[in-house]
Amino acid sequence: MTASQFYTEFPRATSTRYLTNAEAIFAMQNGSCRAIDNHTYNAPIGLSAGGDVRNGAEGVDQIVENYGGNAYRITEFGWTIVKEDGMTQLGLKFTSLLCDESPL
């Protein structure tokens, strides 16, 4: 999966709001969002890249909600080969955010 595909598919799979880095920075500067915490998450292994994305999205939603947020921005992502047969695991670094209804 390319970076472009990831940044298209991942936000579709989450229920919390996705902000690009530029959007998040702008929203934090104008006071409509505040960063809650930075997180590292290794998603449960899916049967495909799409499964990894769905599992990662579910985990991000849970973490954001557990921290009292309603949005997130991804700071880094990547796949790691975890088995000899080529099975991969999605790793994410992201920031949970608490934003006004219309942060932009």
Per CATH, the architecture of 3-95 is what? 2-Layer Sandwich (3.30)
Q: How many whole angstroms from its chain centre is CA 49?
A: 15
11-69 residue pLDDT tens: 999 999 999 999 999 999 999 999 999 999 999 988 788 889 999 999 999 999 999 99
Cross-strand bridge partners of residue 39: 94
63-85 residue pLDDT tens: 999 999 999 999 999 998 887 77
Domain residue limits, the chain: 3-95
The whole-model pTM stands at 0.89
Residue 87: pLDDT band with limits 50, 70, 90 = confident
